[in-house]
Amino acid sequence: EPEVTQTPSHQVTQMGQEVILRCVPISNHLYFYWYRQILGQKVEFLVSFYNNEISEKSEIFDDQFSVERPDGSNFTLKIRSTKLEDSAMYFCASSSGVSNQPQHFGDGTRLSIL
Amino acid sequence: AQSVAQPEDQVNVAEGNPLTVKCTYSVSGNPYLFWYVQYPNRGLQFLLKYITGDNLVKGSYGFEAEFNKSQTSFHLKKPSALVSDSALYFCAVREDFGNEKLTFGTGTRLTIIP
């Protein structure tokens, strides 16, 4: 069964540095998402992306964050000038765009800011 | 605004007994409801969904869920629990129009006792 893949599985970065998290969505999916899960807390929506532009973003997704689909397969989340509170598990998801179909999630990238 | 409540942080069930994991929701329009399961160091795995139609929906691994519109609930159930069902379970909701943002509950840790 097709899967969403994320790399790296664990990223350790110094505070203030930039980090790029990478995702390969399921190939025929049209909608892409990033969520995050701070340790011990619930999964929170960050941003959705469709037709090469952001379709919705949460209040968490400020100017520090950006997303890009640089080619036909990858979907990236860039975090500039990382802060300690950015430490979390970041999940990528994709969906076909048919309204009754679920979002499929990757295994996540654990981001640790030191 | 949409929200999900999972009132139990932890549910313990003896192997072979029926299990229930509770979820209530709030949305402006009609709900699309989902259950996901998370195993250690893995992403969110889709279990089942309610979009429309029969209030009792069946999903993967013998799980089912009952949609109750009057009580705004979508409880997850299984007639006979297995030790391998032990995991973290998340209920999620989105509205039936507009954005596809999923709003998650805080999760319920299910432990099946041999």
Please name the amino acid found at residue B107.
G
Q: Give the residue on B whose Cα is nearest the Cα of A9.
A: B41
User: What's the pLDDT score for residue B8?
Assistant: 96
Residues of chain B whose C-beta is under 8 A from some C-beta in A?
Answer: 32, 34, 36, 41-46, 49, 51-52, 90, 92, 96, 99-107
Is-contact B83 B104, C-beta < 8 A? Answer: no
Residue A112 in this model has a pLDDT that exceeds 70: yes
User: What's the pLDDT score for residue B95?
Assistant: 80
Per the omega criterion (within 30 degrees of 0), is the bond before A8 cis? yes
Q: Which residues of A touch B102 (CB under 8 A)?
A: 33, 35, 43, 45, 103
pLDDT tens column, B80-109: 999 999 999 999 998 877 667 899 999 999
Residue A101 in this model has a pLDDT that exceeds 90: no
| Residue A9 tokens, joined | 């599985």
User: What's the pLDDT score for residue B40?
Assistant: 86
Hey, are the CB atoms on A45 and B102 less than 8 Å from each other? yes
Which of A29-38, B36-45, B60-69 has the lowest average pLDDT? Answer: B36-45
Which of A62-66, B4-8, B38-42, B57-61 has the lowest average pLDDT? Answer: B38-42
The beta-carbon neighbor of A91 closest among B44, B103, B106 is: B44
- Backbone φ and ψ of A16, nearest 5°: 95, -15
Residue A53 CA to residue A56 CA, distance in Å, equals 9
**A53 Cβ contact partners less than 8 Å away, ≥ 6 residues apart:** none
* Mean pLDDT of chain A, nearest integer: 93
B66 CA: distance to closest CA in chain A (Å):
17
- Name residue A23's beta-bridge partners: A6, A75
pLDDT tens column, A19-71: 999 999 999 899 999 999 998 888 999 999 998 999 999 999 999 999 999 88
| Residue B96 tokens, joined | 């039936």
Hey, are the CB atoms on B96 and A48 less than 8 Å from each other? no
Q: Cα angle vertex A34, ends A32, B87, to 5°?
A: 110
